[in-house]
Structure 1
Amino acid sequence: MNGSLRSNTVDIKLRRGPAGLGFNIVGGVDQQYVVNDCGIYVSKIKEDGAAALDGRLEEGDKILMINGVKLGDQSHKAAVDLFRTAGEDVELHVLKKSSHHAKGPCDSHADSSSWGSCVGLAAVLTGAGAMLSLLYLRHLRRNF
């Protein structure tokens, strides 16, 4: 793994509560959630569940391992079975969601550097529009 990928991973230990671990998953080799990615992702955090009370797991996070078992090559059903039989104390190795999973570079969940890119893009487009306007006006002036 490269350094940037490592810096986005976190180990989370959860204790199963009365309602389980408190989150839903999507994905797997048979039900891709992200294009060209067979990983297992958190689709919903249940209010007052173990994951919500812990606070570190978020919707959109990719779960790489549960109790040391890699999830990258598991079917959805196999992953669900691993979660169901994981015991009371569960250790998750998680890749935190990144801005490329956001709706776009200007999404409200994007970080400040992405926001800066949006401002830069707007400035470039505004400049290009101004240049085109000037060229058009010059063209009109020559023809009259």
Structure 2
Amino acid sequence: MNGSLHSSPNVMDIKLKRGPAGLGFNIVGGVDQQYVVNDSGIYVSKIKEDGAAALDGRLQEGDKILAINGMQLEDQTHRAVVDLFRTSGEDVELRVLKKLSRHMNGPLSPRPDHDSSVSSLGFLAVLAGAAALVTFIYMRHLRKNF
């Protein structure tokens, strides 16, 4: 592998052993099918359950594949990269640029975003119940006075 290619903490070399179902992931991108605006790179679009990539655990959807077995993927068509994967052998070394977290300045909580909306719905349900109870008591009080 060429060490000068994107040396940063976000670059990782991943070795995978091809399984019965291949390497276990799908790709998108290429010079002919840009997935990211102004970027003809190759990206992981799906990790297949129980495939080699899923079992390894390091490759994630959204990661950019920079090289396969030392062959850089810059300026390659999608088809050429697919062919390169198909002929890469049983042991495949990927150089990957890990996707950046979407919440760079967001909360540090490991809790998924949908938990906060569930909590909000619970709060609204309690608030609606309290309003109904207050209305019921008020209406009952009015009936006694007439």
TM-score (norm 2): 0.67
**Superposition RMSD in Å:** 1.9
- Give the number of the structure whose alpha-carbon radius of gyration is greater: 2
Superposed, 1:6-45 pairs within 5 Å as: 6-45=8-47
Over 3 Å counting, the alpha-carbon distance change for 1:70 and 1:2 in structure 2 is: closer
- One-letter code of the match for 1:25? I
- 2:88 paired residue among 86, 89, 98: 86
- One-letter code of the match for 1:115? P
- One-letter code of the match for 2:16? L
- Over the matched positions of the two proteins, sequence identity in percent amounts to 73
2: distance between equivalents of 1:46 and 1:89? Answer: 18
Superposed, 1:37-116 pairs within 5 Å as: 37-99=39-101, 102=102, 110-111=103-104, 113-115=105-107
2: distance between equivalents of 1:20 and 1:49? Answer: 7
2: distance between equivalents of 1:2 and 1:69? Answer: 11
- One-letter code of the match for 2:99? K
Unaligned runs of 5+ in 1: 103-109, 117-144
2: distance between equivalents of 1:48 and 1:69? Answer: 27
2: distance between equivalents of 1:66 and 1:30? Answer: 19
2: distance between equivalents of 1:78 and 1:2? Answer: 20
2: distance between equivalents of 1:36 and 1:17? Answer: 34
Offset, 1:8? 0.3
2: distance between equivalents of 1:40 and 1:59? Answer: 11
Moved over 2 A (4+): 113-116
Over 3 Å counting, the alpha-carbon distance change for 1:2 and 1:25 in structure 2 is: closer
TM-score (norm 1): 0.68
- One-letter code of the match for 1:52? A
1: distance between equivalents of 2:40 and 2:100? Answer: 17
Look up the SS of the partner of 2:33 in the other structure: coil
| Aligned match of 1:135 | none
- Which has more helix, going by share of residues? 1
2: distance between equivalents of 1:48 and 1:81? Answer: 23
Unaligned runs of 5+ in 2: 109-146
2: distance between equivalents of 1:115 and 1:91? Answer: 34
